[in-house]
Structure 1
Amino acid sequence: MNIKGMLSTWNTLAFKVRVSLLFIAIVPLGIYLVINNWLLSHHLLELENKNIISKTHQAHRVLDAKASELSKLSMDYGIWTDLHEKVINPDLPWIKENITTWIPENFGMDLVVIANKNLDIINAFGTPHKKLDQLLEKEIIEHVFTNIDNIPDNGALSGFKIFQNELYLISLCPILRNDYSGPYGGMVVIGKKITPAFLEEISYQYGYEMFMYDSAHIVSSRFNQTKAQRALSLFKQTNENVLHMDKATIFGVDAINDISGVPSGYLFIMEPRELNIILKNNLIAILGCIIIILLLTIRIKRSIVNPIKDLQLQISKMGKENTLSYVNIKGTSEIVSLADSFNKMIDNLHRHRLENENLRTLSITDDLTSLYNHRFFYEYFDRLTSNGCKNICILFCDIDHFKSVNDHNGHVIGDILLREVGRIIKAIVGHKAVFRYGGEEFVIVLDDYFVDSAYKKAEIIRLAVNNSSLIQKYSSYLPITISIGIAAYPSDASDIDMLIDKADTAMYFAKQNGRNQCHIYRPFMSKSFKSVRYAKKRIEV
C-alpha cells in the first residue's frame, strides 16, 4: 500500500473510531490498576486520617458556635437595665415570669440561674441550689466579675461544665445596665444539657455520626452503645486522636475542656472506613478516566462531530430560510463524500424546484392581467381562515358597459382595459391579493379589514378607474366605470360560496342603482335582487 493509500485509510471514520475506542478501553483500565496498587496503599490511608481529623475539628467548631449562641443569649438578658433593677430591688414574680420561666419555654434551655452580687440565687430553673458558688467554682465567678470591661468586645464567658454528673454547655454574664454603667447587680447563668436529642439535632444538620464522653457517661445521637463503648475502650488504650476500629469504621477524637480550661470529656466522630476508601479510590480512577475520555472526545469531536454538526447547521439554515445552497464541509473522507453527494442532490432539487415554482406560478396566474386567477381564490381564502384570520372583506368588482365597449372597439382594446383596471387595483391595494375572477370581474381579498375601511378602499378604486385617462379615451359613447360590492367574513357569511354570492349581490345592487357605485352588502339586497350567478343557473336548468 502506498503512502497516499495509507493516509486515506487513516483519515476514514471507521479507523478513527476503532483507535479512539481502543484508547478508551485500555487507558482507564491501566490507570485504575496503578491507583489500586500504588495510591491506595501509600496515600489513601494518610488522606483518610486527615479527613477524619478535619471532620472532628469541624464538629468541635459547631459546638463552639452553639456556645457562642448561648453567650449571645445570656448577654441579651444579662445586659438589661430592667433585670438589673429587679435584682438590686428583688422582684421575684417579675424575674420568674420574664427570665427563669420565659427562657426555658422559648429557647429550650435546661438551666437558668439569677443570682445577686452576694452570690445568693434569687430564682432558678433546673437546679435546687441556693448559692451560686455551689454550682460554680469561685475562681470562675471572680473571673467573670473582674473582666466586665471586656464583655462588649469578647462577649460573655461560655463553655462546657459538668453539673450533677451531666455535661452542660453554659454561659455566664454579669447583670449590668444597658449602657454597662454602674455596679454589677449579680449574674445570669444559662445552660443547655448535652443530651442525645441535642447531638441528634447537630447530626441531622451537619451529617456527623458523633457521641460525647464526659469522663463518666457516654452521650450519643444515633450511635450503637456497644460500638461507642468499643471506641472509648480503644481510645483509653491508645490515647490517639484517630482510631481504626476495623476495616469498616474509623473514629476521630478531640478533647473537650470545661469553662475553666480543665479537660471535661471527649468528642468522637465516626466515618465508614472501607466504603470511604473505595469511594475515594473509584473517584480518582473515574476522574483519570474522564480526563482521558475528554481528551479523546475532543479529538473525535474535531474530526467527526464538528463536521457533522456543521453540515446539520447548514442544512437547518436552509430549512429556516427556505433556500437551497451548497454545503462546504471539511472532515474525514466519508463526511466530505457525504457533503459532495448532498451538493449533487441540491443541484437536482434546485432544478426541480424551479420547474415546480414556474408550474405553480402558471397554474395560479391569469395570463392576461398577471393577477391571481379564479382557481387560486378558494385556496387562498381557505389558507387565511386556517391561519386564524378573523376579519376578511371581499370586494367584488365588475367593469360597467365592458361588453358593449369590447364589442364596439374589439378584443384588443378590451384586453387593454382589463390589464389597466387590474394594474390600478393592484397599485391601490398593494400586497393584498387581487384575482381576475372571470371576464370583466375582479375580486379583492382584504384580510384584517372591517367593512368601513374596505368601503373607503373600494371608493378609491372606483374613483381611480373613473379618472383614468387611458381607460376613458375608449369611452366614446359609454363611460367606462366600475361597480363594487362588499361583503364581510364572518359577519355576512362564514362560507366562501355564500360570501362571494353576497358580495356579488351588493355589486349587482350597485349596477341596478346606476352603476359606478360601491355598496356594502345588506340583507334586504338578497330579498330585492337575485344574484346574477343564480339567474344563470336557472337559465342553464
Structure 2
Amino acid sequence: MKFLYKVILMLGILIALSCFVQFVVFNKFFISNTDSLLLSTNEKASKDVSMQLVENFNKIQNFVKTVASDEEIRENQELLDKFNEIIPEVDVVTILNSKGDILRMSGNVHSPSVSNLAYTDYFHQAIHGKTYISNVFTSASVTKVVVISVPIVKDGSIDGVVAGTVELQGTSLASMFDNKKFGRSGYISILDSHGYVVYHPDKGEIGKKSIVFGKLQGKSGSKIMKDYSGKDQFVGFSKVPNLNWYVIVITPTADIMTSRNIVVYETFIGSVIVGILIILLGIYTIKRYSKPLDKLIFSFNALKAGKYKKIDPYNYGKEFQEMVRVYNHTIERLEEEYNDLEEAADIDSLTGAYNRRAFNNLLSILKQEISNCSLESLGVLLLDIDRFKELNDTSGHLAGDDILKKLTQIMKSTAGDRSVFRFGGDEFAVVIRNVSDERLLAIAEVIRLKGEEALNGCTVSIGTAKYPKDAYSIDKLIDFADKALYISKKSRNKVTTFVK
C-alpha cells in the first residue's frame, strides 16, 4: 500500500500547485477584467451624466430665452419673480440693457456692489447675439457661479441681455448629482473648459483647478489616475457637447481592491479547502480499500503457507464481498483438493489399503489418546502372506499383485475399509477400536479362512495383541503382535494371540 500513499502525496502536491496556479491566473485575469469593467462603467456613467447636464442647461437656456423673448415678463417684477420660481436651478435672473446696466433682478439677490455688467464676458458674448454659458468665476457676492446669457432682440436689433446665474456651491446644481452613487466612495465631478471644478460633492473643491484635467483627451475615455494624495482611482470622462466642459466619474481603487481581494482570497481559500477535502477523501478511500486489501493479502500469504482459513465477509464492504465469496469458495475447493491429496498420499496405490505413512500417523494419534486417557480399547492384527515369494518367483509379479489385492478386499470386507494398512511387500496390519477379545479373534479367523480359499494356494499367518490387556503403550502393542505373528509363521496359516 506504500504506492497508494505515494499517489496520495503526489495528488496533494498537484492539487496545491493547481490551487496556486489557479489563484495566480484567476487573480491576474480578475484584476484585468474588473479594471476594464470599472473603467468602462465609469466612462458610460460620465456620458450619461454629460447628457443629463446638457438637458438641464438646455432647460435653463430655454427659461432664459423665454424671459428674453417676453417683454411683459421683463418689465413686470412680480411676474418675473413668479416665473423665476418655476426654475429652481436658476438662482438669479438679471435683466440688462444694451449698455450693461442692471434694470431688474429676481431670485437670491444680494445687495449688488455694481450696477453695470458690461465688462463681463457673458454680457459681451450675448450682446453680440450669442447664447453663452460661462466658465466658473467668482461673483460680486463672492460665490462660485456659472452664468447663462441670452440676447434680447427687439425690432430686429439687440436691445439687452438676460443672464441666468447658477450658484455652484448652492443646492440647485448639487440636487442634480448628489444622489448619484458609484460604489462606497465614488463621485461625479464637473469641470469647465479651463479645468476648474463646476460641481463636486465636496463644496470646498468647487472653483479649484482639477489635478486630472491635463490628462483628459478626446470626447470620452477612461484611465487609472492618481488623486491629490497619490492614490490610484478609476476615472471615466466625457466632454459636454457645445460647452467643452468635462464630466468625470471617479471611483477610488481602494474600495474596489478591498472587494476584489475578498473575492480573490475567498476563491483561493475555497480552492485550498476543496484540495484538502480531495486529499482527505483520497486518504479515506485508500484506508477504506487498503485495510481490506491488506487482510486479503495476508490471507493469500497464509494460503501460500498452506493455511486454509476462510474470511468473514461481514467485516468487508459490499464492494469486497464478491471477492471474499470467491476467495472462500476457492478455499473450500482447495481444502477438498488438499484432503483428497492427503488421503491419496496415505493410500497404497496397488491395493487401495492405507500405507505405512497413514499407519504411522494413526499411531501418533493413538499415543495422544492414550496420553489423554481417551482410548478405551484397541485390537491389532499383523498379517503376512505365506509362500508369497515362491508365488512371485513361479507365477510372476502380476500374480503376486493379484494376491495382494484379493487379501486387501478380504480384510476390508471383514474389518472395515479404514482399518486396513499395508506395511509394504506382503505385510499388512488391521487396527480395530473398541473391540472385544472374542470379536478380534473372530475377525482374524475369518480373514485366515477366506484367504485360504481365495489366495490361489497362498495362506495368511496372523498375530494379535490387545490394548490394554496385553500392553499399555502402542509401541509395545505392535511389538507383541509382531511376536505373535512370528509364532504363526513357523507353522503357517494360523492365528496366534499374544500371551505374556
Q: TM-score, normalized by length of structure 1?
A: 0.34
Greater helix fraction, Structure 1 or Structure 2 = 1
Asked which structure has the greater CA Rg, the reply is 2
Q: TM-score, normalized by length of structure 2?
A: 0.36
